[in-house]
Structure 1
Amino acid sequence: MINKIDLTNFKCFKRLALPLTNLTALTGFNASGKTSTIQSILLLAQNIQKTRQDDKISLNGPLVRLGSPGDVLYEESSTKLAKVSIESENEEISLSLDFSKRNADRTVDIDNLTLSSSQGVFECNSTSVLFSQVMGSRSSIFDSIKNIVYLSTGRQDLDSLFPTSHDNCEFNVGEKGEFAPWLFDISKDNEVCSSKRHPSEMADSFRRQFNAWFGDILQGAEADTQLIENSNFVRLLFRHNSTSEWRNPTNIGYGLSYVFPIVVSALLARPGDILVIDSPEAHLHPQGQSKMGEFLAMISSSGVQVIIETHSDHVINGLRLAVSRSLISSSQVGMHFFNSRSEHVISPLIDSNGQVSEWPEGFFDQAEKDLAELSGW
């Protein structure tokens, strides 16, 4: 599990040291640094997954597209060096980037790359060299970052056919959720571990457990898939309840299609895996948003680290309800409010009753402000 992210001269941050928990919610104003924080992890992840054979880092790839070096270096930096460090309980990966030279392919030179663990310190200026050294060290943080799964806010366009994947990561639904139907199809009869089972569903099969949670979030909705013979495609079908007709995603609305890859990846992820979700509330009714918060809390309590970026007070309230119902410990849930005006991050605490320690200006208080004005208070 990632316990801390430490950034220096990275995008909008001169310095940021941010603790992470089992479930971390990044909230706050637009353009305040939430996405940049997630991008720092994804930058390291995509370069570990697609290792270059030189001393450079690619800023643009399958997980994150940061543009040019000028878009990444903190604009008021007094040096040409930026640093990204990611820590677990016993390990730390630290990447120092040198922006002093402009590379035509929009890469950045590696000044230093270090992995510190109980087995020693690996240090070099090349991802390929470090990768070969780490392969034999069984680094848990290295493996977790390498296998990280990211779901962006833009999901796969609604369609009836979806592709298969050759990715070795068993819960990688793809950035847009495009491989979720295929993973659902091959996992239908697999057993879901007891810590993730829905309390009202006795059967332990993936399909039954999936539809129990899916129906919780979406008022009884269900999903199913069909492998198209002699092809590399899977058909995805939805229905509103157990007695209604099966329909293609194009005929049933965006909410089900957006929730589908989240539930698939969450149920397939194993303890130690990391799942990053941008806007889990997208296209969901407020009740569904609250249920989504509870569901992600349950997944996190099973050992999967979950990091979300959200603007939804309903998702946050779902997390609070999960704590108050003892579905997850208050110490396992972290919230960070990014305030662009004060240029710092405020981290309210949740107690065992689901109560929040402080409500800074702009922290999910707009509904109260609007109602106060409408009521003439």
Structure 2
Amino acid sequence: MIETLKIKNFKSIKEMKINCANITLLIGTNSSGKSSILQGLLFVAQNTGKKCGLNGELMSLGSFEENRCVYADEKEIIIEIGAGEYMADLVLSREIEIEPNLHIKDNSQGKWWEALCSGLDYEKRAFQYLSCHRVGPQNVYQKNMTMEDVIGTDGQYAVAFLNKHSSDVLETKLCKGNVDYTLLGQVNLWLSYIADAEISTEEIRGADMVKASYTMHDARQIRPTNIGSGISYLISVIIICLASPKEAVIALENPEIHLHPSAQAKLCEFFYFISLTGRQLFIETHSDHIFNGFRAGIATNEMEKDKIKIQFISLNEEHISQAMQVQIGQMGRIENQRKDLFDQFDLDLNKMIGLRGKKNGTNP
């Protein structure tokens, strides 16, 4: 498991260390650096095979100068990833008139880096990434004709993957209920629980395409374009988590897209369940319902506090990103509340009851 992620001289991050857990939740205001933290992780993952720097399968960020922190004097971008006493530094440097060079520094004589190369292998789905640009409702979905079992950073091949692997029997830890232990069965178990729907897929003969349909209540064979958009955005999240191998690292951007608050709360239960199977999740969100879903789980002792790290990312007065680990106390109370830490509900409530002068939110 990745225990620490340290980033230096990257975008708005001058220097930042993130402590990680089974679930690492990244929250904060727009353009505060949350995506940059995920991109630091993506940078490591896409350089564990061939060295491609900032531009590869998982992300394409442009030139070195575009990504170097303008508030720092250093001429290197450094991403450090560690577990226990082991750590590896990926150092991207550029001297005058020379293309960026990537150097790997490993304090374990290569053993930790070798483990990372295996543990973050994108083509073998050991590292999974789903962007906020993932595909929504479509009448037909593509097959992946180049990397057969890769689901895609936009989830564009998730439905085709489900169609191909629907009858695969999952490991026991990934299965709930006592009826259907196949990938399709477990996808539908969670899809039904979260959004009250089920999916079926069918290959289109003579084409490299697959179509999906949904069952909801008594209605069957509903096209994706004729059902709530949230379900289509949700399905790739469920598939990518259940299809990941043991010890996989899963990075998700805004998993709450188009989902009702109650569905978002149930999605937190799904993520926690996945994290208990040995998979590690990094989740970026703007949803107070996702945030409160984990708070509620901790408050009711349904989730272990130590397995969840919540990092609040913000900009200081110098416009440099900073991280604060949110402390959750008894009854889900936020022990170190800060401005913009999901305090808008309280601010709005204060306005409604006439306390317009109160600027800072308080804990519920």
Normalising by the residue count of structure 1, what TM-score does the alignment of the two structures yield?
0.85
CA RMSD of aligned residues (A): 2.3
| Match for residue 137 of structure 2 among 139, 142, 158 | 158
The match for 1:19 is 19
Aligned counterparts of 1:210 and 1:108: Cα–Cα separation in 2: 43
Q: Sequence identity of aligned pairs in percent?
A: 26
Aligned counterparts of 1:333 and 1:13: Cα–Cα separation in 2: 23
- May I ask how many residue pairs the two structures share in their alignment? 348
Per-residue CA deviation, residues 110-160 of structure 1 (Å, 9 max, x unaligned), is 2x312333xxx14xxxxxxxxxxx7xx993322222231110111125322
The match for 1:69 is 64
Q: CA deviation at 1:82?
A: 2.0
Matched, 1:116 2:122: no
Distance 1:325 1:102, change over 3 A: farther
The match for 1:347 is 325
The match for 1:359 is 337
SS in 1 for 2:120: helix
User: Does the 8 Å contact 1:59/1:108 carry over to 2?
Assistant: no
Aligned counterparts of 1:190 and 1:351: Cα–Cα separation in 2: 41
The match for 1:231 is 207
AA matched with 2:22: N
AA matched with 1:44: V
The match for 1:197 is 175
Per-residue CA deviation, residues 278-315 of structure 1 (Å, 9 max, x unaligned), is 00111111111111112111111111100000011101
Distance 1:198 1:355, change over 3 A: farther
AA matched with 1:262: V
Q: CA deviation at 1:27?
A: 0.3
User: Does the 8 Å contact 2:128/2:244 carry over to 1?
Assistant: no
Q: CA deviation at 1:324?
A: 4.2
User: Does the 8 Å contact 1:91/1:141 carry over to 2?
Assistant: no
Per-residue CA deviation, residues 243-265 of structure 1 (Å, 9 max, x unaligned), is 21212212213201100010001
| Match for residue 184 of structure 1 among 153, 162, 171 | 162
Per-residue CA deviation, residues 315-349 of structure 1 (Å, 9 max, x unaligned), is 11222233345544210100000121365211112
The match for 1:45 is 45
Per-residue CA deviation, residues 333-374 of structure 1 (Å, 9 max, x unaligned), is 000001213652111123575443322111111011101101
Identify unmatched segments of 5+ residues in structure 1. 123-133
Per-residue CA deviation, residues 148-195 of structure 1 (Å, 9 max, x unaligned), is 11101111253222222257685x421111111122112222223333
| Match for residue 101 of structure 1 among 76, 89, 96 | 96
Aligned counterparts of 2:107 and 2:148: Cα–Cα separation in 1: 25
Aligned counterparts of 2:272 and 2:78: Cα–Cα separation in 1: 31
Aligned counterparts of 2:146 and 2:247: Cα–Cα separation in 1: 18
| Match for residue 223 of structure 2 among 220, 240, 248 | 248
Aligned counterparts of 1:277 and 1:323: Cα–Cα separation in 2: 21
AA matched with 1:173: I
| Match for residue 60 of structure 1 among 49, 52, 55 | 55
SS in 1 for 2:46: helix
User: Does the 8 Å contact 1:8/1:14 carry over to 2?
Assistant: yes
Identify unmatched segments of 5+ residues in structure 2. 356-364
Q: Which moved further from structure 2: 85-94 or 295-304?
A: 85-94
AA matched with 2:36: S
Normalising by the residue count of structure 2, what TM-score does the alignment of the two structures yield?
0.88
The match for 1:323 is 298
Aligned counterparts of 1:358 and 1:28: Cα–Cα separation in 2: 14
Q: Which moved further from structure 2: 276-285 or 154-163?
A: 154-163
AA matched with 2:325: S
Matched, 1:370 2:348: yes
The match for 2:188 is 211
User: Does the 8 Å contact 2:21/2:307 carry over to 1?
Assistant: yes
User: Does the 8 Å contact 1:83/1:96 carry over to 2?
Assistant: yes
SS in 2 for 1:95: strand
5 Å-filtered alignment, 1:22-37, equals: 22-37=22-37
SS in 1 for 2:100: strand
SS in 1 for 2:161: helix
AA matched with 1:151: L
